[in-house]
Chains A and B, each alone.
Chain A
Amino acid sequence: MRTPETRLFQSSWADGSLDLVAGTAVVMIGVGFWLDLVWTTAVAPPLALTGWYVLHGRVVAPRAGRAVLRRDRRERSRRELGWSVGLGTLVLVLTVVAAVLHPDRASDAVDGLPAVLVALLSGVSAVLTRSSRFAWYAAVLAVAGVLTVLVGAGPGAPLVLGGAVAATTGAILLGRFLADTRETEE
């Protein structure tokens, strides 16, 4: 059962700003793959991080207010982030090892790899924010990643699809949040 403290922690991620910004960045990367502008892969993440920082600081926080989480919650989040980074590194290493050992199969599966890696990131976000919708984005990305390998749609399509789902959900949540919280600051 979720405790009130867990619900309070979840509610701090419920405004949709993270979904909107991260989803848009994933769409950007997907479109970059489509148009052969692979540099978007390097540009989109820092752009998304800056965008989220500005959006949250200027639009969300003045309406939702600010709180410092309890030390036990902060330490738990830090621990989970550590485990997630470890898990992500392990998956990357295993992927590289598999690609070296089976280069023929790797070349077939490579189109689905970006979507699966972003799905992994989304799964980590679900754990860190205790928000199940990030697990749904992960599922959409993973399934789209597998499908793109089967139908040969290229690496961009699953990213555009998964990113669009996240960005649209984020836009709806942010719209609702702004409608519910018209007052700002003291």
Chain B
Amino acid sequence: MRRNTTLPTLDPLVHEPARLRVLAVLAMVESADFMFLLRQAELSRGNLSVQMTRLEEANLVVATKNVVAGRVRTSYRLTDAGLAALRTYRSAMREILAAIP
């Protein structure tokens, strides 16, 4: 049976606060490395690492590894699917917020 819901559903993958912060930071730049995301999203190293793996698995971000001065530097970029997911989330959230009198 089809549910006739009043409010749109939010994608839990995007809605989780830590992931939402990371996705929002990535939406503001072309690409960013792990340290930049760590500072801007204000997450712990372990938490960020876990969230980035989930976002990569969901194909919302893509990671590129480069070796600079003998150190591995991972750079992340939002994919087209990631940007689309963020835009869908924004319109859903706007609808939900519009319900507040």
Contact = CB atoms under 8 A, between A and B. Distances in A.
The secondary-structure label for the interface of chain A is mixed
A36 interface: no
**Smallest CB-CB A-B distances: 10 pairs:** A65-B36, A65-B35, A67-B32, A68-B30, A67-B29, A5-B28, A67-B36, A68-B31, A66-B33, A186-B34
A68 B29 contact: yes
Interface of B: 24-25, 28-40, 45, 71-75
A127 to B, nearest CB: 20
28 contacts: A4-B24, A4-B28, A5-B28, A8-B28, A8-B40, A11-B40, A62-B35, A63-B35, A64-B35, A64-B36, A64-B39, A65-B33, A65-B37, A66-B32, A66-B75, A67-B29, A67-B30, A67-B32, A69-B29, A70-B28, A70-B30, A71-B30, A183-B38, A183-B45, A184-B35, A185-B35, A186-B34, A186-B35
- Most A CB atoms within 10 A — which of B29, B38, B71? B29
B30 A69 contact: yes
B97 to A, nearest CB: 17
Nearest to A61: B35
Contact of A65 (B24, B32, B45, B72): B32
Q: Which interface residue of B35, B40, B72 has the most chain A CB atoms within 10 A?
A: B35
B99 to A, nearest CB: 24
Contacts of A70: 28-30
A181 interface: yes
Contacts of B74: 186
Contacts of B73: 66, 185-186
Contacts of B75: 66
A65 B32 CA distance: 8
A63 B40 CA distance: 12
B34 A67 contact: no
Contacts of B36: 64-67
A36 B89 CA distance: 64
Most A-side CB within 10 Å, residue of B28, B31, B33, B40? B28
A181 B32 CA distance: 17
